[in-house]
Amino acid sequence: MQLSTIGTKMAGLSGLRSLMEDVAACTAGASAGEWLNLSVGNPALIPEARDMWRAALAEVLEEDFGGTSGSYGASRGSHILIEAMASYFHRTYGWRLGPENIAVGPGSQMVCFAAAALFAGPSAGGTRRVVLPMVPDYTGYQGLCLHEGGIVGVPPRVEREGDRFRYALDTEALSRRTDIGMMLVSSPGNPTGRALDPAELRALTDLATERNVPLFLDQAYGAPFPRIGETHGEPVLDDHVVHCFSASKAGLPGERIGFAMGAPRHIAPLASFMSNSVLHAPKLAQAALARVLADGRLDGVVRDAITPHYQEKRRFAEKLLAERMPSDVDWRLHSGEGGMFCWLWVDHDWFDDVTLYTRLKEHRVFVVPGRHFFVDPLENPGLAPHATRCFRLSLSADEATLTEGIARLAHTLTTLRS
């Protein structure tokens, strides 16, 4: 059997997906309980969010199983969810939206995959690319484009802030690119929790307008839900901006519901893509999301449970790191506004992210090497020394797992330094 060029690319596993396979294999046997997984991207199972979704799904099943799971639906999204979204965003932000402004898909990653196929790649005007304005960013983006070299990342400016550090958008480097088909950025971001500030967002929007390309803002962690990370303002409508939202981090990751909002010229192709590929997103979950948007349950759970949960986890992890990490190791935490992760930089020549992964695995701890959040960092001599000295810790684990995992991390760093 011979795969096509695109088939070969899509049949392979990205670096991070290979690591996830490793995690699954190691934790599948009798020793599963001995492993401390600080690499997981799954949101925490917060009781209030769990109970809300369980109740909403049960209500829909009881009242209208035939109209949801028992029938096909509209590719753009179910009428009840489209209507609920339009009403919710009008109530929350004053947006005036119609069905032509909204497209629902089976997860925001699928929405972004559709966008990459629509707005990047070979065309009559030449080859255009998906440009990540500032890496590191969500590693799942790197598998979106079907064409080899179809996605590129712009390295950030690395700024030290006392005993922390922060990435800044390099607008000059971004503006030098002549091959932008679309821009895609998570804000607040994975892995750093960093949100675009108003000046950065304005610069990206201005560039999108100048080049007449869409700017996709993935707000899977931001406002109005799940508000896991702080933001520097509420979402703003613009003809060149497409906002992507998701129910995953609000507690429903397994049901794959994501949606995009923007100008009809961007949304109509997305809706058609859904029709031609997956037909439509799961209707049962769409109906449940419509309910919790309409009756205010989601806002209440976000305010009272989800946002406080991750704020407390962040404080807890930061305190542990300050207490346990070796004092003679130059490590820095990215200045975050929240989020599901801690992003660390160990600024020493002896440190390597994959070596840390391997050594921690010997101690039955999983983290994620930093290089997987950059696009081809080893091909960039200026970026590789930084990208390979970073790693990500998840805050989804319970406090006992975080406590022991960070203790083993500190011990391993001491050993590596020696």
**DSSP symbol at 373:** G
Both structure tokens of 68 = 């949801």
- Position 236 scores a pLDDT of 87
Both structure tokens of 185 = 């950025």
Both structure tokens of 279 = 């037909």
Helices (H) and strands (E) in the chain, counts: 14, 15
Tell me whether the omega of the peptide bond preceding residue 133 falls within 30 degrees of 0, making it cis. no
Cα 237-238-239 angle, rounded to 5 deg: 130
Tens-digit pLDDT profile for residues 316-366: 999 999 999 999 999 999 997 678 999 999 999 999 999 999 999 999 999
- Position 224 scores a pLDDT of 94
CB 329 within 8 A of CB 413: yes
CA separation for the pair 71, 355 (Å, rounded): 51
What are the C-alpha distances in Å from 195 to residues 182, 200, 263, 266? 19, 10, 23, 24
Per-residue pLDDT of the chain (418 residues; tens, 9 = 90+): 888 888 887 777 666 677 778 777 777 776 667 899 999 888 999 999 999 999 999 999 999 888 888 889 889 999 999 999 999 999 999 999 999 999 999 999 999 999 999 999 888 788 899 999 999 999 989 888 888 889 999 999 999 998 999 999 999 999 999 999 999 999 999 999 999 999 999 999 999 999 999 999 999 999 999 999 888 778 889 999 999 999 999 999 999 999 999 999 999 999 999 999 999 999 999 999 999 999 999 999 999 999 999 999 999 999 999 999 999 999 999 997 678 999 999 999 999 999 999 999 999 999 999 999 999 999 999 999 999 999 999 999 999 999 999 999 999 999 999 8
What are the C-alpha distances in Å from 16 to residues 139, 190, 259, 416? 7, 13, 25, 23
- Position 30 scores a pLDDT of 61
**DSSP symbol at 325:** S
Residue whose C-alpha is closest to residue 303's, from 224, 236, 408, 387: 224
CA trace torsion 373, 402, 224, 247 (10° rounding): 80
**What's the burial of 51, exposed, middle or buried (CB within 10 Å: 0-12/13-18/19+)?**
middle
CA separation for the pair 234, 232 (Å, rounded): 7
Both structure tokens of 13 = 């596993």
Both structure tokens of 411 = 């011990």
Q: For residue 389, give every residue at least 6 positions away whose Cβ sits within 8 Å of its Cβ, in sequence order, or none.
A: 345, 346, 347, 348, 351, 352, 353, 370
Residue with tokens 């196929």: 117
CA separation for the pair 325, 157 (Å, rounded): 26
CA separation for the pair 215, 243 (Å, rounded): 8
CA separation for the pair 311, 307 (Å, rounded): 6
| First-to-last C-alpha distance (Å) of the chain | 50
Give 368's strand partners.
392
* Helices 108-119 and 264-277, axial angle in degrees (round to 10): 110
- Position 390 scores a pLDDT of 98
Give 393's strand partners.
342
Residue type, 148: E
Both structure tokens of 6 = 């695109």
- Position 31 scores a pLDDT of 67
